[in-house]
Every structure is written in structure tokens, then in C-alpha cells.
């Protein structure tokens, strides 16, 4: 009986409140942009905790403040008001130089547009954050190769970005995000430029990193399907959180991939249609 009542209490609480080990603690965060005479209130009092090993999908209409929050979480921008602890560090008051340092050590970014350096190989792209962190050349190459292996690109290390598919380029971006062993990975619409199968393959990479390495992942998406691979969904509207729920009926990307037709099957089906 005691067990049941404990379970009931746990159910009633939000996932974040169950974790003492919060990686992100945002308290009443406001962000106002000043554009000439106009003030844009992008965030209007956001409070949220994210624990280690969580996998959160952020959703909400265009302009609701998702990227603004990601930029603050990722130390790319200061809140106008409110407190922010990242991995126990108070970053709301940090100087620009400190922010850059914290960002490089604690956060891995993945963007919709990949943001790879075009004239350098996959391996060198992944090495970049370690150059800023002052890691020695030999160690850099070793760790970059290891990160590329994790995302399944061991045999493409020497390719330039334009010699890789969109999905492979995004994997390089994930490897680069991983390489300093950050506390969190932030991904802002990482599947925005990818087709269905490639998107699910990416979700498989994220689910594996989350399950096997306990990586904390926060991902913005407009696609309902993509949010279903997360463990928790937060919905924004007009600069506020209007919904924060655990994902029930979470999908496994590996399973979805087994059910999706492969590229060859799609080609074969198209060819058959042509001859009919």
C-alpha cells in the first residue's frame, strides 16, 4: 500500500520536481528586445527546471519565444530579468567572456542549418570546439574520431561537408556538439531541413545518446512526430510556458526506422509505378 501511495505522489508531480540533479534552473526569466521605439517581450516570466538525462521537446507557434529561451539556456544571450543556473553555476550575472567560456564547456549546439565550416573535413569540424577549449592536437583528433564513430560516421571523417548528405552533415554537427562532453545538447529545429527517414535517423542518434550516455537533450521542433521521441514536452505561447507534460506513449526511433521504407524500396516503388 505504501508503494502505491508513493507512486501516486510521484505521478502527480512534474518530472523536473523529482530531480535534485537539475542541469538547468530558470526562474522567472524575462527577455525584452528593444527595436527602435518598440519593445518586444519575447519571454514573459519563464520558470522551469530540467534534470540530468532528460530529453525535452519544446513546441509552440512561431514567435512564441522558443529560440529566445534556447539562446538564453545556451548562454548566447542574457535574460533581461530573472535567474539562471546552468549545472549549478549562476550565469545570469556572468560577464561576456565568462559566458563564452561556460558555453564552450557546458553546451553543445545543433542548428537547423548545420553550421559546418565548408572547406574543412568532418574531422576538423568536430575538432573546432576543442581548439577553443585548448585541447592538444593529438587528443583532439582522437576525441573527434570517437565522436564521429558514435554518430555512425567513422568512414566519412575525411569528407568535406559538401561531400556528405544532409543527414550526415547533421550528424557531424551532433558529433561537434558532443565533443567537449557538455552538460546539455541544445537543438533548435535540427530536422527542419531533413526528409522523414533522415529525421527519424537523427532521433535515433539522440535517443541513443540520451539512453546510453545520459545526455540531457533539449530540442525545439514544429513537428508533432518529432516531439514524440522525447520524454517531456513543453509548449510555449506568447513568451510563456502553457503546457509541461511527460510524453506518454513515447516512440522508439529504432522501431520506427524498421517500419519505414528504405531508400531502395521507395525507388523500387517509384519505378514500378512508371512501368504501370
Ligand X SMILES: Nc1ncnc2c1ncn2[C@@H]1O[C@H](COP(=O)(O)OP(=O)(O)OP(=O)(O)O)[C@@H](O)[C@H]1O
Contact footprint for ligand X (CB under 6 A): 33, 35, 40, 42, 60, 62-68
Q: Is the Cβ of residue 126 or residue 217 nearer to Mg ion in the bound state?
A: 217
Least Å distance between CB 185 and ligand X? 18
State the binding partner of 75 from Mg ion, ligand X, none, CB within 5 to 8 A by kind.
none
Inter-axis angle of helices 166-178 and 122-132, to 10 degrees? 30
* Cα 261 to Cα 259: distance, rounded to the nearest angstrom: 7
Residues found in the chain:
276
CB nearer to Mg ion: pick between 48 and 186: 186
Shortest Å distance, C-beta 33 to ligand X = 3
Strand bridging mode 240-246 / 232-237: antiparallel
In whole angstroms, the minimum distance from the beta carbon of 228 to ligand X comes to 18
- Dihedral angle sign, alpha carbons of residues 82, 184, 256, 153: positive
Number of residues that bind Mg ion (CB under 5 A): 1
CB of 199 to Mg ion, least distance (A): 17
Measured between its terminal Cα atoms, the distance across the chain in Å is 65
Separation CA 125–CA 119 (nearest Å): 9
Maximum distance among all Cα pairs of the chain, rounded to whole angstroms:
67
The footprint of Mg ion on residues 51-70 (CB under 5 A) is 67
Q: Residue 207, interface with Mg ion (CB under 5 A)?
A: no
125 contact choice in ligand X, Mg ion, none (CB below 5 to 8 Å, kind-dependent): none
Helix ranges (DSSP H) in 51-121: 66-73, 96-106
| 71 belongs to the binding site for Mg ion (CB under 5 A) | no
Sites of contact with Mg ion (CB under 5 A): 67
Amino acid at each position: 500500500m505504501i508503494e502505491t501511495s508513493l507512486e501516486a505522489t510521484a505521478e502527480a508531480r512534474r518530472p523536473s520536481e523529482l530531480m535534485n540533479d537539475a542541469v538547468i534552473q530558470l526562474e522567472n526569466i524575462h527577455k525584452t528586445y528593444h527595436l527602435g521605439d518598440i519593445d518586444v517581450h519575447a519571454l514573459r516570466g519563464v520558470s522551469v527546471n530540467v534534470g540530468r538525462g532528460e530529453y525535452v521537446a519544446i513546441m509552440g507557434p512561431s514567435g512564441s519565444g522558443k529560440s529566445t529561451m534556447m539562446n538564453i539556456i545556451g548562454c548566447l544571450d542574457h535574460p533581461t530579468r530573472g535567474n539562471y543556473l546552468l549545472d549549478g553555476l549562476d550565469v545570469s550575472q556572468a560577464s561576456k567572456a565568462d559566458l563564452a567560456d561556460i558555453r564552450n564547456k557546458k553546451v553543445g549546439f545543433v542548428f537547423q542549418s548545420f553550421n559546418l565550416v565548408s572547406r574543412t573535413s568532418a574531422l576538423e569540424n568536430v575538432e573546432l570546439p576543442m581548439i577553443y577549449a585548448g585541447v592538444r592536437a593529438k587528443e583532439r583528433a582522437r576525441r573527434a574520431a570517437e565522436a564521429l564513430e558514435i554518430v555512425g560516421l567513422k568512414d566519412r571523417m575525411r569528407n568535406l561537408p559538401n561531400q556528405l548528405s544532409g543527414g550526415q552533415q547533421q550528424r557531424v554537427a551532433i558529433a561537434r556538439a558532443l565533443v567537449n562532453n557538455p552538460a546539455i545538447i541544445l537543438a533548435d529545429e535540427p530536422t527542419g531541413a531533413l526528409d522523414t527517414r533522415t529525421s527519424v535517423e537523427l532521433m535515433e542518434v539522440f535517443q541513443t545518446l540520451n539512453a546510453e550516455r545520459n545526455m540531457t537533450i533539449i530540442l525545439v521542433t514544429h513537428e508533432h512526430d518529432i516531439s514524440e521521441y522525447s520524454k517531456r514536452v513543453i509548449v510555449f505561447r506568447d513568451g510563456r510556458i502553457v503546457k509541461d507534460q511527460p510524453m506518454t506513449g513515447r516512440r522508439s526511433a529504432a522501431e520506427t526506422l524498421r517500419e519505414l521504407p528504405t531508400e531502395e524500396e521507395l525507388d523500387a516503388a517509384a519505378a514500378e509505378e512508371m512501368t504501370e
